């Protein structure tokens, strides 16, 4: 027996300043998944495929937008009932790998590793000592009462 079609929504195409008749979207359930698409030529070649009706609806929307119509030439798709298109989850960003500091090295955060001996000459980057930033007192320091500047 052929799978029955279920009406799931519609899309409107604008013909100039006028809105055309709605194009019905139908769902066909199969063992391998679901398919959503219109049954009207020339739009019947856009077919959304997914494991569930919601994923098929999301696939249909992506393919419909890639069809070549500008956003002002159509309205929808408008979904009926409980269909809410599921967008695929965005890929997770790759976590920054933290460099492993061996505890056996004996270095504390305040100690520097010994500089390599290169005949007594220091490179320019190693010659510059790290400058400490002077602490700046805030401009408005509250004074205790009874004292003046």
Residue 37 has pLDDT above 80, yes or no: yes
In this prediction, residues 67-85 reach a mean pLDDT of: 79
In this prediction, residues 12-27 reach a mean pLDDT of: 81
How does residue 75 score in pLDDT terms, banded at 50, 70 and 90? confident
Residue 75 lies in a domain: yes
Residue 118 lies in a domain: no
Residue 16 lies in a domain: yes
Residue 107 lies in a domain: no
Domain count, the chain: 1
- Which structural domain, as residue segments, surrounds residue 14? 5-79
Residue 44 has pLDDT above 60, yes or no: yes
- Residue pair 33/49 in contact by the 8 Å Cβ criterion: yes
Residue 120 lies in a domain: no
Closest by alpha carbon to 12, among 21, 3, 4, 2? 21
Residue 122 lies in a domain: no
Residue 84 is predicted with a pLDDT of: 75
10-14, 57-61, 74-78: which has the minimum mean pLDDT? Answer: 74-78
Q: Which residue did the predictor score with more confidence, 136 or 21? A: 21
Residue 101 lies in a domain: no
Residue 139 lies in a domain: no
pLDDT single digits (tens) 90-128 = 677 776 666 666 655 555 556 566 666 655 555 555 555
Residue 72 has pLDDT above 70, yes or no: yes
Residue 135 is predicted with a pLDDT of: 62
């Amino acid at each position: 027996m052929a799978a029955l079609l279920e009406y799931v929504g519609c899309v409107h195409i604008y013909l100039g300043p006028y809105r055309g008749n709605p194009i019905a979207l139908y769902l066909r359930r199969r063992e391998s998944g679901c398919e959503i698409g219109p049954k009207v030529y020339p739009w019947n070649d856009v077919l959304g495929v997914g494991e569930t009706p919601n994923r098929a609806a999301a696939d249909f929307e992506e393919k419909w937008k890639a069809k070549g119509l500008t956003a002002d030439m159509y309205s929808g798709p408008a979904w009926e009932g409980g269909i809410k298109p599921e967008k695929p989850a965005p890929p997770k960003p790759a976590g920054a790998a933290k460099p492993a500091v061996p505890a056996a090295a004996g270095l504390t955060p305040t100690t520097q590793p010994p500089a390599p001996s290169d005949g007594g000459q220091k490179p320019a980057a190693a010659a510059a000592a790290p400058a400490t930033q002077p602490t700046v007192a805030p401009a408005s320091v509250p004074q205790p009462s009874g004292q003046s500047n």
